[in-house]
Amino acid sequence: MALDSGQTALLRNEREGTYWQPFTANRMLRANMEPRTMVSAQGAYYTSSEGVRLFDTLSGLWCTPLGHAHPRIVEAVRRQAETLDFAPSFQLTHPGAISLAERIADMAPEGMNHVFFANSGSEAVDTALKVALGYHRIKGAGNRFRMIGRERGYHGVGFGGMSVGGIVSNRKMFAAGMMSGVDHLRHTYEPEHMAFTRGQPTWGKHRAEDLVRLVTLHDASTIAAVIVEPVQGSTGVIVPPVGYLQRLREICTANGILLIFDEVITGFGRMGENFGAQRFGVTPDIITFAKAVTNGIVPMGGVIVTDEIYNTFMTGPENAIEFCHGYTYSGHPMAAAVGHVVLDVMREEGLVARVRELEPVLEEAIHGLKDMDVIADIRNIGLTAAIDLKPAADKPGARGAALFEAGLRGGLLLRCTGDTVSFGPPFISTAQELRDMVSTLRRLIIEVCC
C-alpha cells in the first residue's frame, strides 16, 4: 500500500531527523522509531496517531484552557483571514489590537492600563526587561542595569529570559551569551518544610529577605528590576509561601526597583482570578502574558505596564519613537481576533469562576495519591498541581519517562519533567474528568513505578 505524504515524512524524520524538535531527546525518539504525533484534538482530548484518546492534563503547554477546536474560535480565524489577514504594526494598527489592549488592561490590576503586544512568552519577557532598562534610563538612572531573577525560574528562551531564568539545563550551554549584571534569588521550595501542602505553604516568607541581601551586595542604585513567576510553573508548580510576594513588593518599592510578574502561565484565569497578581493581592509594575490569551491557537504575548512607566516613556520630541522595540507580528490581526473570542467565552461561560469551583476538586483528587510510597510530594493551587516521584535508584528521571510513555498508551497526555509531573487541565474540564484523570494516573503509577 502506498504511503501518503504525511507517513513518508514521518518515516524520513525517523531516519534523518529532518524536523529538529524543541526540548526533545531527538536521537532517542528516532532510535525508538516511535514518532509522538497528535493527529486531532477536540474539547479536552487529543487523539494520537495510534488512535488513543488522550486527556489533555496540561492544556497543551499551559495554553489551551478552553480546550481544542472551540467552534467560535474556528469561526473567528476563518472570518478574520477573509477580512484582514495582516496589518503592519509599525506606525499603523487595526481596530482589533486597540480594543484587545483595552480589554486586557481592564482585566489587569488597577493602575496597569497600557499593553504592548509581542508573540510569545519569551518575547514578552525580553520586552519587559527592555522596558525596565528604558524606564530607568529616561528617569536619569541609567546606572540601574542589573536584573534579579530566581533559581528554578523559567522566563522563556530568549537571551534575556534565559539569563534571568534559573533552570540550570536551559542555561549551561549558552553561558557565553548571558546578560551581564544578573543575579538570582534563592527559590522557595524546601520539601522538608512544605511537602504535601494544599495551597500556599506557611513556611518560607523569609526567603524574600534574600532580595535584601542582593540589594546590599550590589547596591540598590544598580538594580533595575526583579522578575518572578507568581507560581513557578515550568519547574513543577512551586507555590509562593504566604506573605512572600508581598514582602518582595515592599523591598522593591523601598529601593526603587521595578517588580515584574511573569504571568505567562498564571495569567487569564489559571489561578481563579484574571491574573496571579490579583489572586495573591500584590500589584507589580509590569506583567508579562502569553499562552491562554489566544488559547494557544495563534501565537500572542505581551506586557502590561503601569501608568507611571508608560507616561515616563511618553516624553521628548513628539515625532520621536519613544521605545525602539517591537515585532513584525505585534498585535497580529489573527491573534487579536482570537483573543477577543477567548475573552468573550471566558466571560460568558464564567470560566474564571469555574476554576475556583474546580480547584478543590483537583486538590482533593491529587492529594488522594499521598498514600502511594513512590510519591515524594504533592502540591497545588488554582487549577494547577504537581507530584514528585521518588527517583529510581541511580536513574533520576526514569520513572517520569516511563510514566509519560504509559500515559500515551493509557489515555493521559502527561507533562513529565524529570520525575516531576505537572498538571494544568482545561477550564472546561468536568469535575468527573479531573477525578478520572487522577484515578488513571494512580493506575499508571502502579503499572510502571511500583
What is the chain's pLDDT, residue by residue, as a tens digit (450 residues)?
A: 445 656 566 556 656 778 888 988 888 777 765 667 899 999 999 999 999 999 999 999 999 999 999 999 999 999 999 999 999 999 999 999 999 999 999 999 999 999 999 999 999 999 999 999 999 999 999 999 999 999 999 999 999 999 999 999 999 999 999 999 999 999 999 999 999 999 999 999 999 999 999 999 999 999 999 999 999 999 999 999 999 999 999 999 999 999 999 999 999 999 999 999 999 999 999 999 999 999 999 999 999 999 999 999 999 999 999 999 999 999 999 999 999 999 999 999 999 999 999 999 999 999 999 999 999 999 999 999 999 999 998 889 999 999 999 999 999 999 999 999 999 999 999 999 999 999 999 999 999 987
Q: Can you give the pTM of this predicted structure?
A: 0.95
Residue 2 lies in a domain: no
Looking at 348, 369, 397, the residue that finishes a domain is: 348
Residue 250 lies in a domain: yes
Query: Is the same domain home to 59 and 48?
Result: yes
Looking at 281, 316, 348, the residue that finishes a domain is: 348
Altogether, the residues listed in the chain come to a count of 450
Residue 6 lies in a domain: no
Helix axes 333-348, 95-107, angle to 10 degrees: 40
**Whether 30 contacts 15, CB under 8 Å:** yes
Count CA atoms closer than 13 A to 345's CA, side-chain side.
23
Query: Is the same domain home to 221 and 295?
Result: yes
Looking at 320, 348, 376, the residue that finishes a domain is: 348
Residue 49 lies in a domain: yes
Query: Is the same domain home to 320 and 378?
Result: no
Query: Is the same domain home to 264 and 380?
Result: no
Scored b (16 or more CB within 10 A) or e, 396-410 reads eebbbbbbbbbbbeb
CATH (domain of 425)? 3.90.1150.10
- pLDDT, residue 1, reads 41
Residue 433 lies in a domain: yes
Residue 204 lies in a domain: yes
- The domain in which residue 217 lies consists of 74-348
Cα(437)–Cα(56) distance, integer angstroms: 9
Cα(116)–Cα(104) distance, integer angstroms: 11
Query: Is the same domain home to 344 and 354?
Result: no
Residue 402 identity (one-letter amino acid): A
Query: Is the same domain home to 229 and 339?
Result: yes
Query: Is the same domain home to 334 and 374?
Result: no
Query: Is the same domain home to 113 and 203?
Result: yes
Residue 432 lies in a domain: yes
Residue 427 lies in a domain: yes
Cell triple for 16: 534523518
- pLDDT, residue 19, reads 86
CATH (domain of 130)? 3.40.640.10
- pLDDT, residue 11, reads 59
Minimal CA–CA distance to 236: which of 43, 69, 372, 424? 424
Query: Is the same domain home to 372 and 444?
Result: yes
User: How many domains is the chain partitioned into structurally?
Assistant: 2
Query: Is the same domain home to 182 and 112?
Result: yes
Query: Is the same domain home to 171 and 85?
Result: yes
Query: Is the same domain home to 199 and 343?
Result: yes
Residue 44 identity (one-letter amino acid): A
